[in-house]
Amino acid sequence: MGSNTVHLLVVDAHPGARPLPAYSHKAELRLAELLDEHGAISAAGVDRLVATIADALRVAEDKGAEDVLPFATSAVREAANGEAVLARVDAETGVRLTVLSGEDESRLTFLAVRRWFGWSAGRLLVLDIGGGSLEVGYGMDEYPDAAVSLPLGAGRLTATRLPGDPPTADDVRSLRRHVRAEIARTVPDFARFGRPDHAVGTSKTFKQLARIAGAARSADGLYAQRGLRRGALEEWVPRLAEMTAAQRSTLPGVSVGRAGQLLAGALVADAAMDLFGVEELEICPWALREGVILRKLDLMVNDGGPGAALARWGD
């Protein structure tokens, strides 16, 4: 359960094998945009969330899922009424959501990227722009040496800092300054490890930015190499700023539901690539969900069965 969507991913998975997607079921709620003035998920938002999770659970049962790993990210983690939301979901659906910390998100996404590219990729820098937060991870191993989560998600920033459609030039400049200041504070923590051998972007935002900049279509397959050059991104940012959400939705690879958030995501991507010295990054098809699955499989191996505690992400 992310800040943009509730996504059920059914996979055929067992230890030692690549998880194979079998079915995908999504509902766009954009919870990051459904907060009230007190930072709580609105009553209507909670109603929709409970109904959507109940529906996803029925789909999982219909598809014959043997195990369910329900987890939530920044939308619930940072909501003022997060505990009450979790309790209601549990009471009405029987689903107990594990709330991942920002560091958990970064570490598990990094694990997925490492497994996708392998050891030959060397030192990885991984950037992930979600609806509620930006995750950055860096390291040589399966878990990062440095990891951070910043409240710079595309949905959050759009709702709080870009009210117009299209937004005003002043709002765009203000958001750009804010994003760069937030990211710049973290750069020294990563710079001491040296330059990465491979820079990677994950998430729908990076995929859409890469697509409008000329990357391969999703129809070209999972294994088509896709990248995003900072020079191309720099050219697109001012163009996106002048477009309405409806106009952005006509761009290749951009969905109607995500079009409104694309400018904020582009500003975050541009700032992150600039401040971390990345001229080009490769798009990885695996991200947080695959990281959760891989960690679950690792625990099954280590503990001898599927009964391992799902909350032990940091072990």
Q: Is 273 helix (H, G, I), strand (E, B) or coil?
A: helix
* Domain extent at residue 53: 5-99
Cβ partners under 8 Å of residue 192, min gap 6 = none
* CATH number for 277: 3.30.420.150
Do 12 and 145 sit in the same domain of this protein? Answer: no
Are 143 and 242 in a shared domain? yes
Confidence of residue 311 (pLDDT cuts 50, 70, 90): very low
Asked whether residue 143 falls in the same domain as residue 275, the answer is: yes
> How far separated are the first and last CA of the chain, in Å rounded?
22
- Judged against a pLDDT cut of 90, whether residue 306 lies above it is answered with no
Residue in this structure with the two tokens 């006509």, named with its chain if needed: 250
- Nearest CA among 74, 80, 81 for reference residue 99: 74
pLDDT digits (tens, 9 = 90+) for 237-295: 999 999 999 999 999 999 998 999 999 999 999 999 999 999 999 999 999 999 999 99
CB contact set of 296 (below 8 Å; sequence gap of 6+): 13, 67, 69, 308, 310
Instruction: Check whether residue 274 and residue 146 sit in a common domain.
Output: yes
Tokens encoding 150: 């910043």
**221-242, pLDDT tens digit by residue?**
888 899 999 999 999 999 999 9
| Tens digit of each residue's pLDDT (9 = 90 or more) over 141-179 | 999 999 999 999 999 999 999 999 999 999 999 999 999
Domain final residue pick, 73, 99, 125: 99
183/44 same-domain check: no
Q: How many whole angstroms separate alpha carbon 74 and alpha carbon 258? A: 18
Beta-strand ranges (E) seen in 164-216 are 198-202
Pairing of strands 198-202, 124-129: parallel
Do the bridges between strand 98-99 and strand 124-129 make them parallel or antiparallel, or are there none, so unpaired? unpaired
Instruction: Flag whether 278 is in a domain.
Output: yes
pLDDT value at residue 303 = 60
In total, how many domains does the chain have?
Answer: 2
Identify whether residues 127 and 246 lie together within a single domain: yes
* pLDDT tens-digit readout, 103-132: 999 999 999 999 999 999 999 999 999 999
The predicted-structure confidence for 14-46, as pLDDT tens digits, reads as follows 888 888 999 999 998 888 777 788 889 989 889
What DSSP element (H or E) covers 223? none
Residue 308 lies in a domain: no
* CATH, residue 75: 3.30.420.40
What is the pLDDT averaged over residues 49-56? 95
On whether residue 306 sits in a domain, the answer given is no
Q: Is the pLDDT of residue 309 over 50?
A: no
**Boundary-marking domain end, from 43, 73, 99:** 99
How high does pLDDT run on average in the chain? 92
In this structure, the answer to whether residues 70 and 120 fall within a common structural domain is no
Higher pLDDT, 55 or 314: 55
Asked if residue 185 and residue 93 are part of one domain, the reply reads no
Find the mean pLDDT for residues 60-84: 93
Same domain, 40 and 109: no
pLDDT 10s digits, 241-255? 999 999 999 999 999
Number of Cα atoms under 13 Å in the Cβ half of residue 300: 14
Which residues, listed in sequence order, are joined to residue 125 by a DSSP beta bridge?
Answer: 138, 199
The reply to whether 64 and 114 lie within a common domain is no
pLDDT value of position 136 = 98
Asked if 62 and 188 sit in the same domain, the reply is no
User: 310 lies in a domain?
Assistant: no
17 Cα distance to chain centroid? 24
Amino acid making up residue 11? V
Question: What span, in angstroms and rounded, lies between the C-alpha atoms of 133 and 157?
Answer: 9
The answer to whether residue 301 scores a pLDDT higher than 80 is: no
**In this structure, is residue 25 part of a structural domain?**
yes
Residue 314: band (very low, low, confident or very high) from pLDDT cuts 50, 70, 90 = very low
309 domain-assigned = no
- Please tell me whether residues 181 and 222 are part of one structural domain: yes
Q: Which amino acid is at 273?
A: M
Alpha-carbon span 134 to 154, nearest angstrom:
9
Q: Which pLDDT belongs to residue 31?
A: 81
Do the domain assignments include residue 81?
Answer: yes
Neighbouring residues of 227: CB distance < 8 A, sequence distance ≥ 6: 210, 215, 280, 281, 282, 283
* 297 domain residue, yes or no: no
Give the pLDDT of residue 308. 45
Could you say which of 46, 64, 99 is where a domain stops?
A: 99
Tens-digit pLDDT profile for residues 176-214: 999 999 999 999 999 999 999 999 999 999 999 999 999
